[in-house]
Structure 1
Amino acid sequence: MRRLPGPLFALALAGCVSPGASLPPAPLPYAAAIVVDGKAVPLDPRDPAHVRLGRFTYAGGLSLSSRQTARLHGLSDLKVTPDGRLTAMSDQSDLLRARLVLDRGGRLVGLADAALVGLKDSAGADLFAGGQREYDSEGVALLPGGDLLVSFEQNDRILRYPAAGGPPVEAPQPDIAYRFNKGMEALAADPASGPDAYRTGLEGTGQTFLCRLAAACTRSFDVALDGLELTSLDVLPDGRAVALLRWFTPLAGNTIRVKILERDGRVIDTLDLARPLSVDNFEGVAAVPGPRGAIRLYLVSDDNFGSFAGAPTDQRTLLLAFDWRP
């Protein structure tokens, strides 16, 4: 969740990412399942046949919505398992789980079996009820054993939700001084480093840290920000990583950069997205390994609940897929 200075608001409505949505009413009780509607989105609205960007191939995209809930918004991170199960986290502590639907060519065409639930604190109360300082969730990770990790800004912490159920417990996090609202945006399991290993990255600096449930966090590689901010990270089983960076200006709109990285942080390849391509406030990336070193990428955007200071914006919840081949 981001905030724009007041004088920029009028300009921001023209295209934009408004980094600080006004809060919707307190959520109604969730149903066990929701239906997610997915409207197909071309990579290039001017030319739907345009699907190649260097070694990246567009593999379909959707604009997501639901008529059953007002809470399917603000998605700030996601992870996808090889069997196509999606776990996404909103920046108000709502957890979305669903199954990706692909056509015979492997292109993304929908979401099925979706459920949306609000995360709880250690006392069993909704995190949303504690206010923004408590619910500002930004990163999500799935450990091999099934535990769920969620990173938070403002009250900077990582909570671990055990796979077997029960209340969350705090997980190790970098022992540093955190900048307000520039904290642990990026979070990912790191199976190459161990079954309890995970990495987190700082939005404002690009610094990453290797953590374990049973040990303290240690400094790892830095992601070069190139004038942008780090918003998401995923780590493949072979140790390669994928970093998502973004920036916004009222005149240029959203600038998105995806970096495929070696284990030591060296850049293998880069994907850039900006107008006039289909672009929004992308904050989450998931990487799924493919054959012969290929990677399927999924990007999700945070629409800030479609409003800023009580006025509507044109932001969307986009879920885009790309295939990268070495």
Structure 2
Amino acid sequence: MRPKTVRAALAACLAAAACLTAAAPAPAGTTRTPTDRACSPSVSLAGFSDVLDKTSYEGTYVGNLSALARDRDGALLALSDRSSLFRLDARTYRPKGAVALADESGAALDSEGLAVDRDGSRFVTSETEPSVRHYAPDGRLLGLLPVPASLRVAPAGRATANGTFEGLTLLPDGRTLLASMEYALDGDAPGLVRLQTWRRHGSTFRLGPQYAYRAEDGLGVPEITATPDGRLLVLERGFTPDVGNTIRLALADLRHATDTSGVEHLTEGGPVRPARKTPLADLADCPSLGATAEQPQPNPLLDNIEGMAVTGAGHGGHRAGLDVLLVSDDNENAVQTTRLYRLEVRTGGRPGR
């Protein structure tokens, strides 16, 4: 989904590459990190980069980025909602390949979510219908996954336009694919977002359980990604005119959550148990690192953040911390920015039963 947001631009770019962390060099154009990088007790900002902003690769605009994923060879994949899938160098973030995606009729997608299967093929959501399609690395369409009727855009279903499948992730077991709706269905309580799963059966994926996740009031879910222990990092986003973006990060645990696939309407205080949620950070509380904004933002660092991927374990191992990369969707708009954000996220041990 592409809400109107404002641009948060860098105050200055360093002439030479700086360090995102003490262990690795940063891409050119990345700001230096101050001593105090904490956004919350669980999240720190390691750095950010505008190296992709308003750039093109072999004639294709590198923007409108709505999802990130790690490829099998370690490269980064960045999905544009204008139906292009870019391969990025994991160190410099510079594009080194691009593939055009299309539906069964050859038409472009409103592509929003991305997951890489264990064989290197890609799953991509489009929020138009919505749909989940399966592609070969070269962009050949391999198949289309089933979608429950209720999740389709009205009048075919109960979803609102631009409020369907935004996030997509493959759980660490490699057997469960999960997509997140951005907003609640018509008839469900506001903020109760449905998470749909598919389970692997041989070479195909079939519909699996469905769960509920409680987003904060007025916020939607533009992205979701699995952690190594099987929990979910959830990105929540909103926009308020003359105020700017709200971007929050939470951790969700599906254990003990109710299967909502047979529940017609989700209500507050009803019998359905949503995913267990642990708030991690409001990114407005991150250090701005010298960023400026041309229009109001709670923090000039913020923009229309839509994509997220776990890129590695932190220095203390996966239980102590994760390296997480975010990207903002500039909507190909002069007053917005394509910005990459490097976070260190501490999720702690898995909650007890």
Aligned to 1:59: 46
Of residues 173, 179, 183, the one that matches 2:164 is: 183
Aligned to 1:302: 329
Asked if residue 111 in structure 1 is aligned to residue 67 in structure 2, the reply is no
Could you tell me the TM-score, scaled by structure 2's length? 0.69
CA separation of 1:16 and 1:318: change in aligned 2, threshold 3 A: closer
1:152-202 alpha-carbon deviations (Å, 9 max, x no partner):
11232111013587433211333322321111011111233xx34200111
Deviation at 1:81? Answer: 5.3
Q: 2:304 and 2:134 mapped to 1: Cα distance?
A: 27
Aligned to 1:155: 129
Deviation at 1:92? Answer: 0.7
1:122-167 alpha-carbon deviations (Å, 9 max, x no partner):
35x3x33xxxxxx211111112222201111123211101358743
Contact 2:247–2:283 under 8 Å retained in 1: yes
Q: 1:62 and 1:235 mapped to 2: Cα distance?
A: 24
Of residues 98, 109, 113, the one that matches 1:139 is: 113
Deviation at 1:55? Answer: 2.3
Of residues 344, 347, 353, the one that matches 1:323 is: 344
SS at match of 1:168: strand
Q: 2:278 and 2:196 mapped to 1: Cα distance?
A: 20
Tell me how large the CA RMSD over aligned residues is.
2.6
Of residues 247, 257, 270, the one that matches 2:280 is: 270
Deviation at 1:82? Answer: 8.4
Q: Which has the higher helix share?
A: 1
Aligned to 1:251: 242
1:201-220 alpha-carbon deviations (Å, 9 max, x no partner):
11012211111343224212
CA separation of 1:182 and 1:50: change in aligned 2, threshold 3 A: same
1:62-112 alpha-carbon deviations (Å, 9 max, x no partner):
1123354451010011113586421111111110111211xxxxxxxx224
Contact 2:99–2:139 under 8 Å retained in 1: no
Of residues 237, 240, 254, the one that matches 2:228 is: 237
Aligned to 1:209: 196
Asked if residue 72 in structure 1 is aligned to residue 62 in structure 2, the reply is yes
Q: 1:271 and 1:166 mapped to 2: Cα distance?
A: 39
Q: 1:72 and 1:164 mapped to 2: Cα distance?
A: 18
Aligned to 2:304: 281
5 Å-filtered alignment, 1:88-99, equals 88-99=78-89
Contact 1:79–1:88 under 8 Å retained in 2: yes
Residue identity over aligned pairs, in percent, reads: 28
Q: 2:247 and 2:214 mapped to 1: Cα distance?
A: 14
SS at match of 1:268: strand
CA separation of 1:172 and 1:153: change in aligned 2, threshold 3 A: same
The amino acid that maps onto 2:278 is I
Contact 2:42–2:280 under 8 Å retained in 1: no
CA separation of 1:160 and 1:140: change in aligned 2, threshold 3 A: same
SS at match of 1:239: coil
Contact 1:97–1:114 under 8 Å retained in 2: yes
Aligned to 2:30: 40
Kindly tell me the number of residue pairs found equivalent between the two proteins. Answer: 270
- Extract unaligned runs of 5+ from structure 1: 5-11, 18-36, 102-109, 129-134, 307-311
Contact 2:3–2:239 under 8 Å retained in 1: no
Deviation at 1:41? Answer: 4.1
Q: 1:233 and 1:256 mapped to 2: Cα distance?
A: 13
Deviating more after overlay: 182-191 vs 111-120: 111-120
Q: 1:269 and 1:3 mapped to 2: Cα distance?
A: 23
Contact 1:208–1:223 under 8 Å retained in 2: no
Deviation at 1:113? Answer: 5.7
Deviation at 1:305? Answer: 0.3
Q: 1:242 and 1:199 mapped to 2: Cα distance?
A: 12
Could you tell me the TM-score, scaled by structure 1's length? 0.74
